[in-house]
A = this chain, B = another copy of it.
Amino acid sequence: MSKIRIGIVGYGNLGRGVQYALRQNGDMEAVAVFTRRDPAEVKTVFPVKTERYEEMEKYVGKIDVMILCGGSATDLPKQSAQVASLFHIVDSFDTHPKIPEHFAALDAAAKAAGTLGVMSVGWDPGLFSLARLYFGACLPVGKTYTFWGRGVSQGHSDAIRRIKDVRDARQYTVPVESALERVRRGEEPDLTTREKHTRECYVVAEEGADKARIEREIKTMPDYFADYDTTVHFISEEELLREHAGIPHGGLVLRSGVSAAGSKFLEEFSLKLESNPEFTSGVLVAYARAVYRLAREGRTGAVTVFDIAPKYLLAEDEGTQRKELL
């Protein structure tokens, strides 16, 4: 059987992760990486053609599914619809308030082109969204909670780096254990932002910097830190590189609820990930397989993980799935 031919659009941590993930999925192969940088300067983790983003059209008929590995702030709002006008796509769009808008744009572009695009794939949105849906469907009277971490938030790390005299920084989002325990006990508490997560910051300051000022600026930063209990640790650049080089993440979705007869239930899903982008890539690749198959059945337009029957994710046939996994 011929392999599903994958294109990778954008080559940062996620693009690298997709290449790694494809190595573990024998029915798929990477055909080319598309970049807005100079293709000659993109160093890939395994050998693969690198091409200019603008050259993509040459690959129509040679690539089955494009996996978009750009960011949600500026890349995907343009690229998803653009690429979907030529190829089936998978993206990891995660700007939550803009999901309806992104869906509409992708749906229009994909329907016009007769392609299929699945958006917002990853672990949140993605697997966590699925947990929220399945949990709620099976236990309609109850309350769902999502906790993130312990893990690195790139956005918050970047926000610290923008402060004067900060050379580098790493920010960890950490779920509050006592809040988790209250949820697990079925208390269904109303939790404030501060009660759910704390923020731990590891900061490398320039020599002679006013550390008290930096700490104050972090802790009072609106949206990012002001609503949280934040701790700031000043460390050396050497320690940062040694102890905080990875991009771990994870989190939990919990739902507690009760039957009409009064029995209590707890549903819990958690992920512990040594590498956020490498795990996300694994999810993107599984959904690329699903998109390929659904498209062959004639499906077009925009879809999400909610629209895709689980069977499409696995290479194994349905009989094998029922035998081995049901």
Contact = CB atoms under 8 A, between A and B. Distances in A.
Interface of A: 16-17, 20-21, 23-25, 45, 96, 99-100, 103, 120, 125, 127, 129-134, 136-141, 246, 259-261, 263-275, 278-279, 281-283, 286, 304-311, 313-314, 318-319, 321-323, 325-326
B99 A310 contact: no
B310 A322 contact: no
Given A99-B323, A133-B321, A314-B137, A261 B45 contact: yes
A29 B309 CA distance: 26
A57 B45 CA distance: 64
A138 B279 CA distance: 8
A306 to B, nearest CB: 4
A107 B286 CA distance: 28
A188 to B, nearest CB: 15
B275 A259 contact: yes
Nearest to A256: B272
Contacts of A23: 260
Contact of A20 (B21, B260, B271): B260
A305 B310 contact: yes
27 contacts: A17-B261, A24-B141, A25-B140, A45-B261, A99-B326, A100-B322, A120-B326, A125-B326, A132-B325, A133-B313, A133-B321, A134-B310, A138-B279, A139-B282, A259-B278, A261-B278, A263-B273, A265-B272, A265-B279, A266-B270, A266-B271, A268-B268, A268-B272, A305-B310, A306-B321, A306-B325, A307-B311
A164 to B, nearest CB: 34
Given A132-B325, A265-B274, 6 more contacts: A24-B141, A25-B140, A99-B326, A268-B269, A306-B321, A307-B309
Contacts of A103: 322
Secondary structure class of chain A's binding surface, majority of residues: helix
B325 A133 contact: yes
A270 B271 contact: no
A259 B308 contact: no
Contacts of A25: 140
A304 B279 contact: no
Contact of A318 (B96, B130, B306): B306
Contact of A267 (B271, B286, B309, B323): B271
Nearest to A279: B265
A268 B308 CA distance: 22
Contacts of A310: 130, 133-134, 137, 305-306
Contact of A283 (B138, B274, B314): B138
A4 B133 CA distance: 20
Given A20-B259, A260-B20, A264-B274, A134 B326 contact: no
Given A100-B322, A129-B325, A24 B140 contact: yes
